[in-house]
Amino acid sequence: MAIAEVPARPRASSRQGPFVNEPFYDFRHEENARKMRAAIERVRGQLGREYDLIIGGKHVKTTDKIKSLNPSRPSQIVGIHQKAGKDQVEPAMQAALKTFESWRNTSVEERASLLFRVGDLLRQRKMDLMAWLVFEVSKNWGEADADISETIDFCEFYAREALRLAKTEAPVQLPGERDSLMYIPLGVGAVIPPWNFPCAIMAGMTLASIVSGNTVILKPSSDSPTIAAKFVELLEEAGMPEGVVNFCPGSGAAFGDAIVSHPKTRYIAFTGSREVGLHINRSAATQAPGQIWIKRTILEMGGKDAIIVDADADIDSAVEGVAQSAFGFQGQKCSACSRAIVDERVYDKFLEQLKARVEKITVGDPAENSNMGAVINEGSMKTVLGYIEQGKKDGRLITGGERATEAGEGYYIKPTVIADIAPKSKLEQEEIFGPVLAVIKSRGFDHALEIANDTEFGLTGAVYTKSRDKIDRAIRDFHVGNLYFNRKCTGAMVGAHPFGGFNMSGTDSKSGGPDYLYLFTQAKSVGEKIG
């Protein structure tokens, strides 16, 4: 059929049945492509409008503003936002605290129903929201589809998980007692999402918070506040009470730090860099005057993810998986493959085929659905180009290695492959967050595992091999939170691949998994003597 197969859904108030991942559009069908082009034109006509802070349901303006720019065309303003600062900290906290007193006592059925309604609205507006991602963060159509589909999945999955947790029973009933176990909300949470999955991660941490009964102060990234504003509009349209989510884009230093350190903040849900995550962890660990709890931190941080290509691997499949993992969304994923560790026996063949595959990647405006768009901003572009120059000194440039100026005025960088990179070198150890792949030669499978594990991160990884023994060894010894075999190391699906990493990749929060909502709740055990 011309449009994506979307299963019929029951009404939000009576959702039943198992969770099913949201299907993706197939843009090879011209009808789907036509509808996406129409959505892009609709959104193009809405660019540049101004958005308010929303605190306790009230719209607030500030003197300072945040301008969200299109990375593919930096002269184009996507949205103008108020900039929350120190003056907005206390109003936002008081609004969240006030609403928490009623929201925490709202039935789980009502909170879950809100998420189901949001999911339905997201489906209705899916392509328009995808178009906002095209403009605000330079995602191509497929990457934008994956982002919004994952957002819908979080609505559906976390609503069902909240209903499941509400039915938890104490594992033992003592004679003469009525024993119960319940999961209650924590309080006011600071939700601080990144720009690279500006809808899915932002919404996922927010939805998990509110379906559990918490209230939220949401500080989206200054590079992607517009899609967050659109999501908050959907929450309001779905019937979310005022003050449950308080929308406060602002600087990390003036507003973010003040919220993190506030004595009434109960937890911080953060996704972003290792440096900022550790800063939040240190701040949260310090008891502020008037603070009566240990703040909880839910941290998803960086990665230096590796794909191991064994000597017996299907090289065609490995090349495709590495190329997709390294250069999907310009390599701007914490799960992206930034290291290919290739057995010396197939090293030259792999590089030859990888070069040919990468040089087929088109770079340009994602509104035209190029394979790769621009990196997020000028600072990121300069950082990535600096790593490339270091890589040219330390290794052998295979392809890319410079700005893609022919693509336009945006922050475009050619997909870059640098071979013969040594273990423990800068390019092999540090997170680049751009379209740069380091290729490292291994002497065998044991050596490959040693190299793969020898970083401070532990987020995702993949192995291409036909050996069952090597698969079993990697399951045991490849120390990452998300491990894949004979497929790419990106593209975790809600429910199937609960997402979160080890070591400096974060607190292994496992978003999209059956234990995620435990992080946003606390268990209360009740024993009542009867008879």
Phi/psi for 297 (5° steps) reads -120, 130
How many domains are contained in the chain?
Answer: 2
Residue 518 confidence (pLDDT) above 80: yes
Angle between helices 200-211 and 108-124 in degrees, nearest 10: 160
Residue 462 placed within a domain? yes
Q: Distances from the Cα of 477 to the Cαs of 451, 453, 466, 503, in angstroms?
A: 12, 9, 17, 14
Q: pLDDT tens across 495-517, in order?
A: 999 999 999 999 999 999 999 99
**Are residues 88 and 47 both part of a single domain?**
yes
On whether residue 1 sits in a domain, the answer given is no
Cβ(96)–Cβ(188) below 8 Å: yes
Q: What percent of the chain has pLDDT over 90?
A: 96
Phi, psi of 280 (to 5 degrees): -65, -40
Catalytic annotation, pick one of 136, 300, 428, 431: 300
At 423, which amino acid appears? P
| CA–CA separation, 349 and 344 (whole Å) | 10
Q: By C-alpha distance, which of 147, 205, 122 is closest to 500?
A: 205
CB 274 within 8 A of CB 282: no
Please tell me whether residue 17 adopts helix, strand or coil conformation. coil
Position 397 in a domain: yes
Query: What is the per-residue pLDDT across 292-321, written as a single tens digit (0 to 9) for each?
Result: 999 999 999 999 999 999 999 999 999 999
- Alpha-carbon distance of 359 to 326, in angstroms, equals 13
Radius of gyration of the chain (CA): 23
CATH (domain of 415): 3.40.309.10
CB contact at 8 A, 362 and 526:
no
Residue type, 282: R
* Prediction pTM value: 0.96
Is 132 part of a structural domain of the chain?
yes
- Are residues 56 and 90 in contact, defined by beta-carbon separation less than 8 angstroms? no
For residues 401 and 415, give the distance between their C-alpha atoms in angstroms, rounded to a whole number.
Answer: 7
Q: Which of the residues 334, 428, 431, 489 is marked catalytic?
A: 334
502 lies in a domain? no
Task: Provide long-range contacts, Cβ within 8 A and 24+ apart, for 471-477.
Answer: 473/445, 473/449, 474/308, 474/449, 477/449, 477/453
Q: List CB contacts of 348: < 8 A, sequence separation 6 or more.
A: none
Q: Is residue 22 part of a domain?
A: no
pLDDT band at 457 (very low <50, low <70, confident <90, very high): very high
Residues 291 and 312 in one domain: no
Task: State the CATH number of the domain containing residue 76.
Answer: 3.40.605.10
Same domain, 75 and 118: yes
| Residue 300 a catalytic site member | yes
- Closest by CA to 284, choosing from 269, 300, 303, is 269
Our answer to whether residue 248 is catalytic in this structure is no
Look at residue 274 and tell me whether its pLDDT is greater than 80: yes
Please, which pLDDT band fits residue 3 given cuts at 50, 70 and 90?
Answer: very low
pLDDT over 60 (residue 5): no
Give the Cβ contact number of residue 110 at 10 Å: 12
Burial of 36 (0-12, 13-18, 19+ CB in 10 A): buried
Q: Are residues 280 and 328 in the same domain?
A: no
Q: Are residues 317 and 197 in the same domain?
A: no
pLDDT in tens, 156-202: 999 999 999 999 999 999 999 999 999 999 999 999 999 999 999 99
Give bridge partners of residue 181 from the DSSP assignment.
Answer: 525
Q: Is residue 124 part of a domain?
A: yes
Tell whether the model's pLDDT for residue 419 goes beyond 90: yes
The pLDDT of residue 2 = 33
Residues 269 and 417 in one domain: no
pLDDT for position 15: 67
Please check whether residues 449 and 513 belong to one and the same domain.
no
Residues 234-273 have pLDDT tens digits of 999 999 999 999 999 998 889 999 999 999 999 999 999 9
pLDDT tens for 38-78 read 999 999 999 999 999 999 999 999 999 999 999 999 999 99
The boundaries of the domain holding residue 320 are 305-493
H/E run at residue 237: helix 225-237
Regarding whether 239 and 95 lie in a shared domain, the answer is yes
User: Could you count the other beta carbons within 10 Å of the beta carbon of residue 525?
Assistant: 9
| Residue at 314 is within a domain | yes
pLDDT of residue 13: 41
The CA distance from 310 to 346, in Å, is 8
Distance (Å, rounded) from C-alpha 450 to C-alpha 437?
A: 19
Q: Are residues 195 and 335 in the same domain?
A: no
Please give the average per-residue pLDDT across 475-479, as a whole number.
98
Q: Do 117 and 214 belong to one domain?
A: yes
Binning pLDDT at 50, 70 and 90, where does residue 17 land? Answer: confident
Same domain for 133 and 62: yes
pLDDT digits (tens, 9 = 90+) for 104-144: 999 999 999 999 999 999 999 999 999 999 999 999 999 99
- For residues 281 and 332, membership in a common domain is answered with no
